[in-house]
Amino acid sequence: MNGRYAEAHRRSLEDPEGFWAEAAAAIDWERRWDTVLDAGNPPFYLWFRGGWLNTCWNALDRHVAGGRGGQAALIYDSPVAGEVTTFSYAELRDRVALLAGALKSLGVAKGDRVLIYMPMVPEAVMAMLACARLGAIHSVVFGGFAAPELATRIDDARPKLILSASCGIEVQRVIPYKPLLDRAIELASAKPAACVILQRPMAPASLVAGRDHDWQALVAAARPADCVPVEATDPLYILYTSGTTGIPKGIVRHNGGHAVALCWSMANIYGMKPGEVFWTASDVGWVVGHSYIVYAPLLYGCTSVLYEGKPVGTPDAGAFWRVIAQHGVSVMFTAPTAFRAIKREDPDGTLIRRHDLSKFRALFLAGERADPPTVEWAERQLGVPVIDHWWQTETGWPITANCLGLETMPVKHGSSTKPVPGWDLRVLGTDGHELKRGEIGALCLKLPLPPGALPTLWHADDRFVSSYLAEYPGYYQTADAGYVDEDGYVFVMTRTDDIINVAGHRLSTGGIEEVLAAHPDVAECAVIGVADSLKGQVPVGFLVLKAGAAQLPAQVAEEAVRLVRERIGPVASFRTAIVVPRLPKTRSGKILRGTMRRIADGEEYKMPATIDDPAILGEIADTLKGAGYAKPPA
């Protein structure tokens, strides 16, 4: 095995076309591509130009045709609904074909957008695959977003149809989804022609006559639909992610490169074999869920577990071990925050030892930096490799990892190991020059990006270039900063923009500030991400009130918290707004958010030379101490 990683990485950069053409042999093509990589219109690169395929065929039908029809494709395990249901490849194919037929009966065709706003039920997976089957473009919106966020996405994607469910279940609380959907459609200017609603028994919803259809009734009347071939460069989905403003970015994923890269990753990064069980504990609303709950495991012929529950509280901190043992999971993927939650409730791992984890081979973590204490704890308790790997919604699959399928490299805590084949990672300084090993700079990826990475933003080529490509010409800027050590290991340290990471979820502090600034009594505001022992970071807002504000400071702070929940959603975990007399700024008026964060986290900070009035920092520190922050680290 030794040396296989280095050789694969070298070859992927020296001969990308040969490398990816070979990987593409694992996919069924309706028509072979004309060009592996079309670099004729930089910085827009197209993989497998001229090729035709269908992603749903590759994820389901071909496995049935190839003899896997009886193998489990999807195991739905829901401690909150009290249900475990297994769908074989043949069953899942049939259910998806019928749902696709139902969507077709409502006029959905190739290239139409379909928005999916659903909890973690098998129908959500079926909905994504049914869209892929018809060549329609799905856009899944995470259930923890509020109506205005949903409306923004509806207006950008302009879906013909919306698929939703009557409710989600958060531990023991039933969350009605339908009122949020109705409100979002009211707010949006692009009205969908129809909605299809899955009625869950815990909270059935009332349907809007003439617009809403009952899921079960529609499917019962449908005829199965066949796979519609699409071009490799036709979009499979749009997934919105936080940008630096309140307007999210519509990440586009093409069918061809996505199928090739994800299939390759299952064998080479995760070291999986077809037929084995893979479990990603995330949500289909995030990229991790798109890639590693739905598409990659199915494209590769594995069994995927769809878990509707939490790491703790459903019913206890042993839930993950119960699922691994019950379904014979080989490899699991989740966010470090889930492990911090488990470690907090079961520090000695007592619940782990109650389960037979003999099939379990490796744990992969991503979504936020894997803090070494959590990784060490997981290694000690589980006795398997714990692999931190780094990626983004934009990249669609890991940029750096310990590629277990190629070669197991020694783990260095705090590092997400080395660039995965296909990714040409460079650390650049502010002037665009490459930095030496050990020096911290902007983590950038030399163009072209490999298959599966975003080719552009939905209907926003200019924003794609200005957001990612303009600052370092010839490179994609990840907006993460870090360094590469003497052994070539990559350390991802921090974001360079205003994105914060809350329980593995990506949030824009700028987006939260836009909500706070809209309050009539708020003159100005700043939001920072403060360290949190469970969620990694949580947002904290600072408000300066207008002279003669109508309400008392405590009332405004309370309303600010409510507003963020209503406008962005509970996913923002925004619980603390603090009213301050003024904000620390530079002489040119820039708010010193970085310094405020350091004070809040109890870190050392230098008095910025450009500060307007140094006394304000003392005031901020006192206010933060009063609110329970700014403690020196334990």
Asked if residue 337 binds ligand AMP (CB under 6 A), the reply is no
Q: Contacts with ligand AMP in 373-412 (CB under 6 A)?
A: 388-393
- C-beta of 183 vs 495, nearer to ligand AMP: 495
Strands 72-78 and 83-88: antiparallel
Which of the choices ligand COA, ligand AMP, none does residue 392 contact, using the CB cut-off of 5 to 8 A by kind? ligand AMP
**Residue 197 contacts ligand COA per CB under 6 A:** no
Pick 135 or 309: Cβ nearer ligand COA: 309
d(CA 92, CA 125): 10
The answer to whether residues 230 and 110 touch, using CB atoms and an 8 Å cutoff, is yes
Nearer to ligand AMP, 91 or 388 (CB): 388
Choose between 142 and 300: whose C-beta lies nearer to ligand COA: 142
Nearer to ligand AMP by Cβ, of 233 and 393: the residue is 393
Among ligand COA, ligand AMP, none, residue 144 binds (CB under 5-8 Å by kind)? ligand COA
Candidates 8, 124, 490, 492; binder of ligand AMP (CB under 6 A) is 492
Does the footprint of ligand COA cover residue 283 (CB under 6 A)? yes
255 binds ligand AMP per the rule CB under 6 A: no
Strands, E, within 496-594: which ranges? 499-502, 505-508, 522-532, 536-545, 576-579
* Cα 230–chain centre separation: 25
Both tokens of 182, joined, read 């109705």
User: What's the DSSP call for residue 628?
Assistant: T
Per-position x/- string for 86-125, each x denoting binding to ligand COA as judged by CB under 6 A, each - no binding = ---------------------------------x------
- Binding residue for ligand COA, selected from 76, 286, 360, 542, defined by CB under 6 A: 286
508 binds ligand COA (CB under 6 A): no
Give every CB contact of residue 348 below 8 A, 6+ residues apart in sequence: none
If one asks whether residue 367 binds ligand AMP (CB under 6 A), the answer comes out as yes
Peptide bond into 448 cis (omega under 30): yes
Does residue 282 bind ligand AMP (CB under 6 A)? no
Tokens of 3: 């040396």
The partner in contact with residue 168, picked from ligand COA, ligand AMP, none with C-beta cut-offs of 5 to 8 angstroms by kind, is ligand COA
Residues in 360-419 that interact with ligand COA by CB under 6 A: 367
Binding residue for ligand AMP, selected from 8, 136, 287, 500, defined by CB under 6 A: 287
Among residues 502, 265, 259, the alpha carbon closest in space to that of 387 is found at 265
- Which C-beta is closer to ligand COA: that of 143 or that of 482? 143
When asked if residue 327 is in the footprint of ligand AMP (CB under 6 A), the reply is: no
Closest CA to 475 of 439, 442, 438: 442
| CA neighbor of 105 nearest in space, from 36, 25, 170, 193 | 193
As measured in angstroms, the least distance from the Cβ of 249 to ligand AMP is: 10
- Is residue 79 involved in binding ligand COA (CB under 6 A)? no
Considering only residues 53, 56, 167, 338, which one is a binding residue for ligand COA as defined by CB under 6 A? 338
Residue indicated by tokens 């098998």 = 122
Residue 152 binds: one of ligand AMP, ligand COA, none (C-beta under 5 to 8 A by kind):
none
Residue 335's contacts (CB-CB under 8 Å, 6 or more residues apart) are 282, 288, 365, 366, 367, 368, 503, 504
Q: Residue 443 interacts with ligand AMP (CB under 6 A)?
A: no
Please identify which residue in 573, 592, 595, 616 interacts with ligand COA, judged by CB under 6 A: 573
Q: Which is nearer to ligand COA, 9 or 340 (CB)?
A: 340
How near is the Cβ of 506 to ligand AMP at its closest, in Å? 3
Helix, coil or strand: residue 307: strand
| Structure-token match 């329970």, residue found | 628
Decide which of ligand COA, ligand AMP, none touches 12; Cβ closer than 5 to 8 Å per partner kind.
none
**Among ligand AMP, ligand COA, none, what binds residue 287 when CB lies within 5 to 8 Å by partner kind?**
ligand AMP
Tokens standing for residue 299 = 């494209």
Token pair 């963020």: residue: 564
Please tell me whether residue 93 binds ligand AMP under the rule CB under 6 A.
no
What residue has token string 């490299």?
A: 409
Q: How far apart are CA 414 and CA 365, in angstroms?
A: 12
- 375 close to 363: Cβ distance less than 8 angstroms: no
Q: How far is the CB of 170 from ligand COA (least distance, A)?
A: 4
User: Site for ligand COA (CB under 6 A): which residue of 122, 144, 482, 539?
Assistant: 144
CA 129 to mean position of chain CA atoms? 18
What single DSSP character describes residue 352?
G
* Distance, CA of 332 to CA of 281 (rounded, Å): 8
Per-residue binding string, ligand AMP, 456-485, x by CB under 6 A, is ----------------------x-x-----
341 touches ligand COA (CB under 6 A): yes
Give the footprint of ligand AMP on residues 222-251 (CB under 6 A): 241
CB 362, CB 331: distance < 8 Å = yes
Helix/strand/coil (H, E, C) string of 402-448?
CCCCCCCCCCCCCCCCEECCCCCEEEECCCCCECCCCCCEEEEEECC
527 binds, among ligand AMP, ligand COA, none (CB under 5 to 8 A by kind): none
A 10 A CB-CB count for 1 gives 9
* DSSP run (H or E) holding 491: strand 490-495
* Nearer CB in complex with ligand AMP: 414/608: 414
Q: Where would I find the H helices in 113-168? A: 122-134, 147-157
What are the tokens at 601?
């986290």
CB nearer to ligand COA: give 243 or 367: 367
* Residue 422, Ramachandran bin (φ over 0: left; ψ between -120 and 50: alpha; else beta): left
CA gyration radius, the chain? 24
H or E element at residue 559: helix 553-567
DSSP letter at 381?
H
Residue 495 interacting entry, from ligand AMP, ligand COA, none, C-beta within 5 to 8 Å by type: ligand AMP
The 8-class DSSP code of residue 141 comes to: -
Does 175 contact ligand COA by CB under 6 A?
yes
Question: Quick one: 119 or 148, whose CB is closer to ligand COA?
Answer: 119
416 binds, among ligand COA, ligand AMP, none (CB under 5 to 8 A by kind): ligand AMP
Binding of residue 318 to ligand COA (CB under 6 A): no
Judge whether 251 and 394 are in contact, CB under 8 Å: yes
Provide the binding-site residues for ligand COA, judged by CB under 6 A. Answer: 119, 143-144, 168, 170, 175, 282-283, 286, 288, 310-312, 334-335, 337-338, 341, 367, 503-505, 534, 570-571, 573
Q: Which residues contact ligand AMP (rule: CB under 6 A)?
A: 241, 287, 366-370, 388-393, 416, 478, 480, 492, 495, 501, 506
